[in-house]
Each structure stands twice: as structure tokens, then as C-alpha cells.
Structure 1
Amino acid sequence: MIIPLLIAPPFFLYLLSKLRQLAIAHEQLMVIASTDGLTSCFNRAAFTTLVDAYLDRVDRQEKGGEGALLVMDVDHFKNVNDNFGHDMGDEALKLIAQSIKSTLREVDLVGRMGGEEFSVFLPGIAPDRVVMVAERIRETVKAVNFCPQGIPCNLSISIGGATYVRTASFSELYKLADKLLYDAKRQGRDRVELCQLGSGPPLAAAH
């Protein structure tokens, strides 16, 4: 009886230690599964799920709300890869992701939707403030100092955004924001196009 009693405490501590390690490992795996490895933004699946879950909760608890979804694409990114290589293209994406994050609040979400496309969800923000946030993102990216192989290379992004002041879904917001992103590209790139979901004319057309 004495030997089991002597063994039990160390074994119990060992078991607790292993359980903590497993919990930490599980948390790390969850982070890896939901995060884009290059930019440390949420990946597309995680970003979409989080935004949809937020919008669903707000709809059920508050019967609507306000906020915005921005979709952005790096202008002429193929030229960066072609002229400097994919490694430098990756560095450019990292710098752009860092620049986007630096302009946002803690509650805002940033996702890499694939390739050179990013998306930002701005919960609980009035439509008239979204213009300022989007412009700040655009200007911050444009100010990035990117000099691959010592050669200055200007970076810029085009932004399309959908604001909402009622019940909305991710798919509705993304469809409108994506359309406005391509409007921004067609109109010369390095600009912002915003519109309120369910309304007519754009809120802003800036460059």
C-alpha cells in the first residue's frame, strides 16, 4: 500500500503535465488550421466562418446591426513576382498584411482570401466612418517601403466595400464588395469604392 501511495502523486502530476501539453498542442493546431501561414491572417475558411457567426449572433440578439466588409486586391501583383521572384512576392504580401493590421482596431478581422486578395470585417462601425478606414488602409499600403534587390517598388491596393445597417450575411456582403473591387480596378486601381447593402449609388469613389 505504501508504494502506490508514493507513486500516485508524481504520476498524477505527470498526467496533469501531459494533459496541459495536449491542450496546448490542440490550441496550436487550431491556430495553424485557421491561420494563413505566410501572412498570419485568418485563412479564407476561418475568416468566412467567423464573420458569418458574428452576423448570425447579432441578427438573433440585436435584430440587425451595422458594420462593413472590405475586399482588397494588390494592384499589378503579377509584375512583382515576374520581376523579382515569388520570394519577394511573398515578402510584399507580408508587408501589406502588416500594414492592413496596423490601421485596424482589435475587434476587426483580417483574412487572406487567396493569392493577393485580402478581406477586412469591421463590426459595429457606422457607414460614414468606413470611408475613412478604407482610405487609411489604402494610404498605409501605398506608403510601404518595399525595395527588392535594392530597387524601389511601389505597392498599392484596390478596395471594394459593402456596408450594412440591417440584417446581412457574409455572402451578400462579399458579393457586393467583390463587385465594387472590380469597379475600382476598372477605374484605374489604387482607389476605394464603397456602397451600402440594399442601396443605390456608392458611398465613395476615392483615389
Structure 2
Amino acid sequence: MSWLQSAFDRFFKLRIWQQACFVTLFSMLAAETLTLVFYSIFFSERLLLDLVLTALITTVIAYPISYVFLRKTAMVAELVAELDMAATTDFLTGLRNRRDFMRIAGEMISSTVSSAGVVLIIDVDHFKRINDRFGHAEGDRVLVLIAEAIRQSVRANDVCARIGGEEFAVFMPGADLPLAHTICERIAITCRLVGCGANDVGISTTVSIGVAVHGPLQSLDEVIREADTMLYKAKQGGRDRVMHQPPRDIVA
């Protein structure tokens, strides 16, 4: 029943003390109703006193018990949410992790018999030099900024992930090659601005991008391998560029 689920959803959005008050009030009303029915039949002369006593006893007992129980329930819910976040999110950049990327993109691909979209594999050029020259803390900061640059460059429904080290992936559902080119150019330009805005002179934050269009009956692994191959060719071709199959260089 949707109305019941909606009522529970609204209930759990309340503060803990509000939830406890609601449970206490419900318990008191239930106890008062039972007392009213029972004593009106058998002990009508004591009805008023017993109603007062029932309300007092129910409140004293129900509120602390319901508060503690609801607080523990809320703590468990928060812990579950944190564990779910840790299982699906890259701790540094806030993007999806490789596992969650493979799950979501895989489900999208398996649900269609035609082309499901485009996969981009993005790698930060000469990232080891940044770590060696400026330290790992600066390297981490660059990764966070690169991740944000990618997130701002893609569409709202595109799936972005950090799949390892300085490597990122984007799945663009329903996209074609021309749209992928436009997005890649936007990513490349935005990522360059990360280095331009750095405090330390000499940080280069260009990226190389491999592009693969999902073909009918292709698996996600096959599309990723194709995008990886294109990324390797982009690296061989001098970096700071986009490659796709068939091999045609598109400088961003």
C-alpha cells in the first residue's frame, strides 16, 4: 500500500524526539481506548482515575523506551548508508568507484540490443611527475579537481567513476560519436584549467581520452577494452588528445 509506505517515509524524516513523541502518543491513545472500553463495562466508577493513571504510566514507560529504540534504529540506518556509500564511492574524489561503474554501466548495456552509448577512458598525462615534483598531497588535490572537471563537463545522466590511480571512466547512455567528441573536448579544456589555476607553476593537467562506441551484442568488458586500446594510442600519439575507433585523431 503506497499510502502506508508514504506515511512511514514521512515518519522517519522526523527528528528522533518527534518520532518518540509520536510513538508515545499513539501508545497512550491505544491504552486509553482499551481502558475506556474495559472500565466502562466493568468499573465505570473508577473510569476517570484509571484513564489518568493509564496515560501517565504509558507516557513514563513508552517515551524513554521508544526514544532509545528509535535512536538505535537511526544509528543503524546511518551506518548502512555510510557502508553503502563506501561500497560504491571513491573515497578521494566522490565519484563512483570501479565496482559501481561496472554494475551500473553493465546493467544499462545488458538492457538493450542496440548501441547503448559510449564509454570514455580518461587518463591524466604524466601524473607521476606531479607526485614526484609536488608530493602526493598535491597529487591527490589534482585528482579531486580533475574529477570535478569531468563531472561538470558531462551530462547529468552520464555515469562517472574513478577506476584506478589517475584513470577515470565515463559511460554516456544513448550517446553517439559526435556527442562524445563534444564532451571530450569539454573535458580536455576543463582539465587544462585545473593546472592553470594551480598555485605552483609548472603543473600540467592535460588528459588523454580513449573513446569506444558500444556496438550491438557487445559486453561492457569488450567496450572498455576497445576504449583502453584507443587510450593507449592517444598516449603513443603524444598525449593530450582523443582517439576513437576507427583511429582518427581529434585534438581537444
Matches within 5 A, 1:120-135: 120-135=170-185
Residue correspondences, number:
196
Counterpart in the other structure of 2:72: 18
Structure number with the higher helix fraction is 2
Distance between the aligned counterparts of 2:74 and 2:174, measured in 1?
Answer: 36
- Check 1:65–1:206 CA distance in 2 against 1; reply closer, same or farther (3 A cut): closer
Say whether 1:184 aligns with 2:234: yes
Cα deviation code 1:157-201 (max 9, x no counterpart): 000011125233210111000000000000010000122xxxxx2
Equivalent-residue separation in structure 2 for 1:11 and 1:89 (angstroms):
50
User: Within 1, Cα distance between the matches of 2:178 and 2:133?
Assistant: 39
Alignment of 1:15-164 (within 5 A): 15-56=69-110, 58-59=111-112, 63-144=113-194, 145-148=196-199, 150-164=200-214
Who is 2:249 aligned against?
A: 205
Deviation at 1:139, TM superposition (A): 1.5
Q: Secondary structure at the match of 2:209?
A: strand
Work out whether residues 191 and 206 of structure 1, in 8 Å CA contact, stay in contact via their aligned partners in 2: yes
Indicate if the aligned counterparts of 2:122 and 2:231 stay in contact, CA closer than 8 A: yes
Letter in 1 for 2:80: H
Tell me, yes or no, if the aligned pair for 1:70 and 1:121 is still in contact at 8 Å.
Answer: yes
Cα offset for 1:152? 3.9
Structure-2 separation of matches of 1:21 and 1:107: 31
Question: CA–CA distance in 2 between the matches of 1:90 and 1:66?
Answer: 33
Residue identity opposite 1:93 in structure 2: L
Residues in 2 aligned to 1:66 and 1:46: alpha-carbon distance in whole angstroms: 18
Amino acid at match of 1:128: P
Cα deviation code 1:47-72 (max 9, x no counterpart): 1122112222x23xxx3343111001
Residues 208 and 231 in structure 2, CA contact (< 8 A), matched pair in contact too: yes
* Greater Rg over alpha carbons, structure: 2
CA spacing shift, 1:12–1:191, aligned 2, 3 Å: same
In the alignment, structure 1 residue 169 sits paired with structure 2 residue 219: yes
Counterparts of 1:165 and 1:33, CA distance in 2? 30
**Cα shift at 1:9:** 4.8
* 1:8 corresponding residue in structure 2: 62
**Shift of residue 10, structure 1, vs aligned partner:** 4.5
- CA distance in 2: counterparts of 1:65 and 1:162, whole angstroms: 11
**Alpha-carbon distance, 1:118 to partner:** 0.7
Identity percentage of aligned residues:
36
Aligned CA distance change for structure 1 residues 14 and 38 (closer, same or farther; 3 Å): same
Contact 1:158 1:181 in 2 (8 A): yes
